[in-house]
Amino acid sequence: MSVLVYTENWDGQFKKLSFELISYASEVAKSYNTNVVALSIGNVDEAELSKLSQYGADKVLNLSNAAYTEFNAEYYAKAISEAAKSEHAQVTIFANNITTRAIAPRVTIKLDAGMVSGCVAAPESIEPFVVSKKAFSGKAFARVKINKDNKVLSLNQNAFGIKENVKAANIVSFECALETSKAKVVEVSKNSGKMSVLDAEILVSGGRGLKKPENFKLLEEASDILGSVATVACTKPVADLEWRPHSEHVGQTGKVVAPNLYIAVGISGAIQHLAGITSSKVIVAINTDKDAPIFEASDYGVVGDALEVMPKLNEALKAFKANS
């Protein structure tokens, strides 16, 4: 028996959430008194693979067959379910994101399993198997029981946190025969390799309160100071006005994000915007209106004019970075 985790990488580096998944799997494995097996697909070097053992992976399966470097839902689902079978995994764990949404349900059917997506905590019991998840787009939680022997879970980013749990790495290569798929990628476009708002750990987000597109320079500056984990986001009207690209638009009709830090600058906090940000770990609001609804959703608030506050914040961040 084991608990299997599918750990995603980006250009050979594990995403932070992969470490969170291993931490989560360690907790699940503890209840079963069993081991954590991580499966990595793609080109990841030994040093990077061994990082997984710092968070509790007992064994790392490395599928680095060149045919798997390009994502394909069918191939990936096949490889993961074969790994689950060969490792006798009772629970298979994924991150809850766009990529895994294409594969985890397929794995579920292949394993004749029950699946809960968007888990927010470790299972409260394993016999019966009950786990809590987000429902109604974050407006509620549901406790869900899985009635099948095999379980597939997808975890919401930041729901569990990263916990160190150092194990000895046992990295083994894993093979899986390929079939051909009819879905063919014919063109890929990557703009500047900037992290998408879905992956960034810090979002500096602007609303109509910034008054004009040029003022977003203040947010770009903050994001640059905070480093490659940070990027700029915006509200719907800002994207509709073409001050910023639609790929940055967050909310009910845009992206649903879950960064560690969401800095909302000149954003009123309309319910449709909040629908996209409430899974953020920490929210900071900067707004001239002390009664703006955004403050009710925030952990830290600053009442003030963004055009005056942001330069001060950028100075403070620069000083902080220089000293750290």
Partner 1 sequence: MKILVCISHVPDTTAKIAFVDNNKSYNKEGQQFIIGPNEELALTRAIDIKEAKGGNITALTVGSAEVEPTLRKALAMGADDAIRVNMDPKDAFNVSKQIAEVAKANQYDVILTGREAIDYNGGQVGEMIAEWLIYPSVSGVNDMDLEPGKAILKREIDGGYEKIECDFPLIITGQKGIAAEPKIPAMRGIMMARKKPLIVVEPVQSDNATEVLEHSLPASKASCKMVSADDMNELVRLLHEEAKVI
Ligand X SMILES: Cc1cc2nc3c(=O)[nH]c(=O)nc-3n(C[C@H](O)[C@H](O)[C@H](O)COP(=O)(O)OP(=O)(O)OC[C@H]3O[C@@H](n4cnc5c(N)ncnc54)[C@H](O)[C@@H]3O)c2cc1C
- Within positions 282 to 311, which residues make up the interface with ligand X, using CB under 6 A? 286-289, 292, 305-307
| Site membership for partner 1, residue 163 (CB under 8 A) | no
Q: How far is CA 154 from CA 7, 8, 151, in A?
A: 12, 13, 10
Of the residues 192, 214, 242, 322, which one makes contact with partner 1 according to CB under 8 A: 192
Q: Give 136: exposed, middle or buried? Use CB within 10 Å, 0-12, 13-18, 19+.
A: exposed
| Contacted entry of partner 1, ligand X, none for residue 270, CB cut-off 5 to 8 Å set by kind | ligand X
* Region of residue 270 (phi > 0: left; psi between -120 and 50: alpha; otherwise: beta): beta
174 vs 292: CA distance, rounded Å: 54
Residue 267 touches which of ligand X, partner 1, none (Cβ within 5-8 Å per kind): ligand X
Per DSSP, 26 falls in state H
Q: How far is the CB of 159 from partner 1 (least distance, A)?
A: 13
Stretch 139-198 residues interacting with ligand X (CB under 6 A):
none
218-257: contacts with ligand X (CB under 6 A): 235-238, 251-254
d(CA 203, CA 229) in angstroms, rounded, equals 9
Which 233-272 residues touch partner 1, going by CB under 8 A? 247, 252-254, 260-261, 271
Q: Is 150 helix (H, G, I), strand (E, B) or coil?
A: coil
**Window 104 to 123, contacts with partner 1 (CB under 8 A):** 104-106, 108-110, 113-118
If one asks whether residue 177 binds partner 1 (CB under 8 A), the answer comes out as no
∠ CA 101-153-20, rounded to 5°: 90
Say which entry of ligand X, partner 1, none residue 188 contacts (CB below 5 to 8 A, set by partner kind).
partner 1
With CB under 8 A as the contact rule, the residue among 31, 196, 215, 268 that binds partner 1 is 196
- What residues have CB less than 8 Å from 11, skipping those under 6 apart? none
Radius of gyration for the alpha carbons in the chain, expressed in angstroms and rounded = 21
Query: Choosing among ligand X, partner 1, none, which partner's interface includes residue 289 (Cβ < 5 to 8 Å by kind)?
Result: ligand X
Question: Which positions from 198 through 217 interact with ligand X, judged by CB under 6 A?
Answer: 207-209
Both tokens of residue 7? 């750990």
Which single residue is written with the structure tokens 């063109």? 187
Q: Does 38 bind partner 1 (CB under 8 A)?
A: no
Q: Which of residues 10-39 bind ligand X (CB under 6 A)?
A: none
In terms of CB distance, is 50 or 268 closer to partner 1? Answer: 268
Question: In this structure, what is the dihedral angle of CA atoms 235, 238, 242, 246, given to the nearest 10 degrees?
Answer: 0
Select the span of 32-40, 212-220, 234-242, 299-307 touching partner 1 (CB under 8 A).
Answer: 299-307
The rounded distance, in Å, linking the Cα atoms of 209 and 288 is 8
Q: Which is nearer to ligand X, 2 or 205 (CB)?
A: 205
Please pick, from the candidates 232, 273, 283, 297, the single residue that binds ligand X as defined by CB under 6 A: 273
* Amino acid symbol at 318: K
Cα separation, 51 vs 48, in Å, equals 5
Judged by beta carbon, residue 116 or residue 309, the one nearer ligand X is 309
Closer to ligand X at the Cβ: 69 or 137?
Answer: 137
Residues 67-106 that bind partner 1 (CB under 8 A): 71, 73-74, 77, 96, 98, 101-106
Q: How far apart are CA 23 and CA 57, in angstroms?
A: 8
